[in-house]
Amino acid sequence: MQKITVVFSSGAIQEFVVESLSLTRNRFGQLVGVEWKAAKGQKTPMRINLDNVDGIFAEELPAEQS
């Protein structure tokens, strides 16, 4: 599980938890796509317009112990 933080150009911050995150880059290294698999029971954005994003940060969450 990963905690994703998206910082938008407007200064807004969106955080959500996903099972996996995949970033797609073009041959120049520019970010052109982001895909994620939502964690069960977690709300996540349906789509993020990359033109309005200043940064995407991913933090690994520790596995829950039962």
Query: What's the predicted TM-score (pTM) here?
Result: 0.80
Q: At 11, list the tokens.
A: 């200064």
65 within domain boundaries: no
pLDDT of residue 47: 83
44 within domain boundaries: yes
Write out the residue range of the structural domain in which residue 11 sits: 2-60
Asked whether the predicted pLDDT for residue 29 surpasses 80, the reply is yes
Burial 9-43 (b: 16+ CB within 10 A, else e): eeeeeeebbbeeeeeeeeeeeeeeebebeebeeee
Asked whether the predicted pLDDT for residue 65 surpasses 70, the reply is no
Count of domains observed in the chain: 1
Asked whether the predicted pLDDT for residue 25 surpasses 70, the reply is yes
| Chain mean position to CA 51 | 15
66 within domain boundaries: no
